[in-house]
Structure 1
Amino acid sequence: MRHARDVLEQVLEELPPRPRLELERQVVTLDSAYLRRTLPDPFARHRQWRSGLWWRRRLADGEEGG
């Protein structure tokens, strides 16, 4: 899940405004579901990867998708 969200973020940054808005609408829905199914990672700031990305600071209970 985290890798897929990383890719989506990259795609959103590269798209022109209209397609970006359309994709963002879908991503917001998926983000909400992921937030409901995961917990905050209390050790995220100590991890090697980019902990500044909110989805990298979540724990998925042993499964990436929850």
Structure 2
Amino acid sequence: MLAEVLRQLPPRSRARPARQVRALDAGYAERTPPDPFAADRQWRSDLWWRRRPTGGPG
């Protein structure tokens, strides 16, 4: 949903929040290992974060 909001913003208004979101995404990906069973699960590319186990519920 956040990606859709960013796409709808004018380019000047989008630049700073887009950088912040990229930094948050990179930090999350760095702190969570890839799911070794992801290939066995049905997933959608827009829900990439579901392929990263966090150790929490879910």
Q: For this structure pair, what is the TM-score category when the shorter chain's length is used for normalisation?
A: 0.5 to 0.7
| Unaligned residue ranges in structure 1 (runs of 5+) | 1-6
Deviation string, structure 1 residues 16-44 (Cα, Å, up to 9, x no partner): 21111111111111112101211111233
Query: Aligned Cα RMSD in Å?
Result: 2.2
| TM-score, normalised by the number of residues in structure 2 | 0.67
Report the count of equivalent residues: 57
- Say which one has the larger Rg: 2
Q: Once the two structures are aligned, what percentage of the paired residues are identical? A: 54
| Unaligned residue ranges in structure 2 (runs of 5+) | none
| TM-score, normalised by the number of residues in structure 1 | 0.62
Greater RCO, 1 or 2 (C-alpha within 8 Å, sep 6+): 1
